[in-house]
Structure formats: structure tokens, C-alpha cells
Chains A and B, each alone.
Chain A
């Protein structure tokens, strides 16, 4: 069994162990969030499952390869635990590592003194508890305590009735007309412009289509652009917001035609 392939299903991570290690090393997952005990449980369960499957008896007679896996796993998990402990007690670990023997004694003395004080405080609490052994008091509510009814301000029932009535009235149906835009197909305007230009060589966009709705005008303008793209018309405008002039393009003036001819 390969330890790196051990499948994990933890609260903070789901997947193989080697992926977890990679993510931890890349600092993409916070080791503090990982339940290391969960990894140990998963490993033991997989070992038991394997030995159970191999000899059918379910005892833990480990083969040589499993022993190797166990060793590998122990090294990995202890490294993880050390890393996690360092993360949790970051400053303290660094401080302790740098201590000189004298300072270490001082630190130990300080910690022992802190613990002694708490031990003494606990002894004080014990004696206090003994003194207070004969103090009896009620912890819960009185057995026949009347239930408290919180008073509320007087209100007019008519106001409530009016509010209910307002709620009972079916709401006005909302028009959804604006949701679907209806406009004529582009081709209709393309056809219209072509027939217009068949009769005369130029026209003004506004004077021809000024009486249409905004949406229809927009579609008409798109049709104009389409015809422009196809090289059938030339669009010009003297100044911003000036009338748009549409002109028929003669075949002779088309650049495509020119290049074909020179070739």
C-alpha cells in the first residue's frame, strides 16, 4: 500500500494524502484547519480493511510492505503534527528555540510560578467550597412562578382588519409587455431600402423613416449598416446629429470590382 495514495475524507479536505501534502507545502490549504487525527483514523481504517481483505480473519498481522507503509506514515504524520504545532504556537516555538540555558531556567521558573499560583487559587476555591457547603439556593425558576405576560399597547382592531383586507385583495396584474420587444425583421428593411434605391439614387434616413417607432428605427438603422457592409450603399452625415444621407453605390465604384479588374 502506498501511503501517498491514502484517500482522505476530512472536513477541510477530500482527496489523496499526497495532494494534501502538496497543498500544505504550497500554503494553499491552512494546516490549522486540518484534523490530523482524522488522517490517522483513515490510515488505520485502510490498514484494517486491507489486512481483513487479505487473510479474511481481520487480525492485524502486518506484512513487510505494510510495515514499511506504517513507518512512512508515522514519519509523514509526525512531520505534519510538528508543522501544525509550530503554526499554532508560532512565536512561542521561536522564542524557546533561541533561549540560552539561563533564560530557559528563567522561563521554566516563570511557568512553574504561574502554575503554582493557579494551584494555590484552586486550593483557595476548594476551601471556599467547603465553607459554602451549607449554602443552599434556588437555581431554577420558582415552581409556581406565574408565567409572565408581556403587556402590549392598546390597538384598534379596525386597523388590523384594514391591514388584513389589504392583504386579501389580489394584486394588480403587472404588464409584461415591455419584456418582449417586438420589431420587424431586418430583411424587411433591407428589401425596403433596396426598392427605394432602385427608384432613386439617394434618400434621407429621417425623412423616410421618421414616423416609425424607436425600435423600428433602430432595426432600420441596422439594415442600413448591413447594406453598407455589403457595399450596396454609402452612408454620410455632414455633422453630428445632421440628417443621415443614404446613397446608392454604383458597381463601377466598388473597390472589389476595381481589384478584380486590375488583376
Chain B
């Protein structure tokens, strides 16, 4: 069985394309889209997809120390989870993994409502967002995305592909629906009325 697959690697043209795709993923520093891969390999996207399936089988959890993943709208190689502890010992803990509550809330606002401005973030969170936004910018998790048309022309922000990569998201569509999150507005309204009555009493 092992021999047979080895023989296949050397003969099938799709296998040759899979090896090219593998090589491209190794030299790339950011996820590569299907179009990127097709252009670099000088082949059509349908065949690239087939080659990616082969690469994905070869580089999957439990089979290899390197894993192919679909992330941030493209394909990228990462270390397998079983090698995570060794990787952690090799590197210091990456900075983007220790995010404060304020940073996470700000990220959530930018991810769901972006491109949005700092005043908009402030309005939702009720506290100044200056330092948090600067921190997220520095970490490369958000980036500037033009300016608002209103008075003052505040800078707008959006999340970056690095955000998707750090959170392991194929795209922003993988975020849970906003309507499924948080309390029902009816419950909040009721609670507000209760508080108002208590104060009045």
C-alpha cells in the first residue's frame, strides 16, 4: 500500500501539481488564495483545488507535523496541534494571544461593524477607545480603512487577514450571527423598567 502511493507520487500529473502547490505554500508568508496558487502554478483553479485536496490529505492532523488549513480566505501551512508545546518552547508566546477584555470587545466591534470609526467604538463601549485601537493597530489585528465622510473625517478601521488567521477563521462569515448573541432587547427593557420603579419607590 505504502509502495503504491509512493509510485503514484512520481507518476500522476496531479501529484506533480500537488508538489508545486506544497512548495508554494512553504515559501509563502501569508495564506494564498486559489487564484494566487493558480497564477503561480500556471494551472487552472479546478485542478489546483484537486491538488489542494491531495496536499490536505497528506498534511493533516495525526499524519504530519505540518497541517494544511483553509484560513483568512486562503490556504496556509501551520504546525500540527500535537507539536504545539514544542513550538511554544521554541517561540515566546506570540503577542497576539494575550488580548485584554477591552481589546477583544473592540476587535468584536470592528469585526462585526467594520469599517468603523473610533467614535463609533466609543459609543458602543461607553469608554474611550484610543489606547485599545492603537494597541490593536500595533499588533496588526486591525488596519486603517479610509476616512469617515462626516465632520472631522474620523479614520475607519477594519480587521486584517492576520485577525482571521489568529482566530482560525476561514472568513468573517464564520463569526457567529450577531442576532444569536447577547440578551434579548425585551429582557433588557424589562430590567430597565424594574430598576426605574425601584428608584421611584
Are B188 and A113 in contact (CB-based, < 8 A)? Answer: yes
CA distance A32 to B152 in the complex (A): 6
Q: How far is the CB of A138 from chain B (nearest CB, A)?
A: 6
- Residue-wise interface mask of B (156-188) relative to A, using a CB-CB cutoff of 8 A (1 in contact, 0 not): 000000100111110000011010011111001
- For A98, list chain B residues within 8 Å (CB): none
- For B124, list chain A residues within 8 Å (CB): 111, 114-115, 118
| A238 CB–B CB distance under 8 Å | no
| B78 CB–A CB distance under 8 Å | yes
Are A109 and B192 in contact (CB-based, < 8 A)? Answer: yes
| B99 CB–A CB distance under 8 Å | yes
Are B181 and A32 in contact (CB-based, < 8 A)? Answer: no
- For A30, list chain B residues within 8 Å (CB): 151
Are B168 and A116 in contact (CB-based, < 8 A)? Answer: no
| A149 CB–B CB distance under 8 Å | no
- For A125, list chain B residues within 8 Å (CB): 104, 107-108, 111, 167
Q: How far is the CB of B61 from chain A (nearest CB, A)?
A: 11
| Interface hits, B45-104 → A, CB 8 Å | 69, 76-79, 81, 83-85, 87-88, 91, 94, 97, 99, 101, 104
| A137 CB–B CB distance under 8 Å | yes
| A128 CB–B CB distance under 8 Å | yes
Count of chain A residues near B, Cβ 8 A: 43
| A126 CB–B CB distance under 8 Å | yes
Q: How far is the CB of A139 from chain B (nearest CB, A)?
A: 7
- For A118, list chain B residues within 8 Å (CB): 105, 108-109, 112, 124-125, 182
Q: How far is the CB of A121 from chain B (nearest CB, A)?
A: 4
Specify the chain B residue showing the minimal Cβ separation from A142. B27
With A118-B105, A128-B168, A129-B167 already in contact, the answer to whether A112 and B188 are too (CB < 8 A) is yes
- For B169, list chain A residues within 8 Å (CB): 128
Are A113 and B185 in contact (CB-based, < 8 A)? Answer: yes
CA distance A122 to B111 in the complex (A): 10
CA distance A82 to B57 in the complex (A): 63
Specify the chain A residue showing the minimal Cβ separation from B99. A129
Q: How far is the CB of B2 from chain A (nearest CB, A)?
A: 29
Specify the chain B residue showing the minimal Cβ separation from A117. B182
Are A122 and B167 in contact (CB-based, < 8 A)? Answer: no
Contact of A129 among B69, B97, B176, B185 (CB under 8 A): B97
- For B119, list chain A residues within 8 Å (CB): 88-89
CA distance A90 to B119 in the complex (A): 13
Which residue, A89, A114, A145, has most C-beta atoms of chain B within 10 A? Answer: A114
Q: How far is the CB of B147 from chain A (nearest CB, A)?
A: 13
Are B182 and A122 in contact (CB-based, < 8 A)? Answer: no
| B26 CB–A CB distance under 8 Å | yes
Contact of A145 among B27, B152, B166, B193 (CB under 8 A): B27
- For A111, list chain B residues within 8 Å (CB): 123-124
| B12 CB–A CB distance under 8 Å | no
Are A128 and B167 in contact (CB-based, < 8 A)? Answer: yes
Are A117 and B181 in contact (CB-based, < 8 A)? Answer: yes
| A183 CB–B CB distance under 8 Å | no
Q: How far is the CB of B109 from chain A (nearest CB, A)?
A: 5
- Residue-wise interface mask of A (118-145) relative to B, using a CB-CB cutoff of 8 A (1 in contact, 0 not): 1111111110110111111111111001
Are B152 and A122 in contact (CB-based, < 8 A)? Answer: no
CA distance A88 to B120 in the complex (A): 12
Are A142 and B26 in contact (CB-based, < 8 A)? Answer: yes
With A122-B105, A126-B104 already in contact, the answer to whether A109 and B188 are too (CB < 8 A) is yes
Are B79 and A113 in contact (CB-based, < 8 A)? Answer: no
- For A109, list chain B residues within 8 Å (CB): 185, 188-189, 192
Specify the chain A residue showing the minimal Cβ separation from B79. A136
20 additional A-B pairs beyond A129-B167, A139-B29, beta carbons within 8 Å, are A88-B119, A105-B189, A106-B189, A113-B183, A116-B181, A117-B178, A117-B182, A118-B109, A118-B112, A121-B175, A125-B104, A129-B99, A129-B166, A132-B167, A132-B168, A133-B84, A135-B168, A136-B78, A138-B29, A142-B27
> B interface vs A, CB < 8 Å?
26-27, 29, 69, 76-79, 81, 83-85, 87-88, 91, 94, 97, 99, 101, 104-105, 107-109, 111-112, 119, 123-126, 151-152, 162, 165-169, 175-176, 178, 181-185, 188-189, 192-193, 196
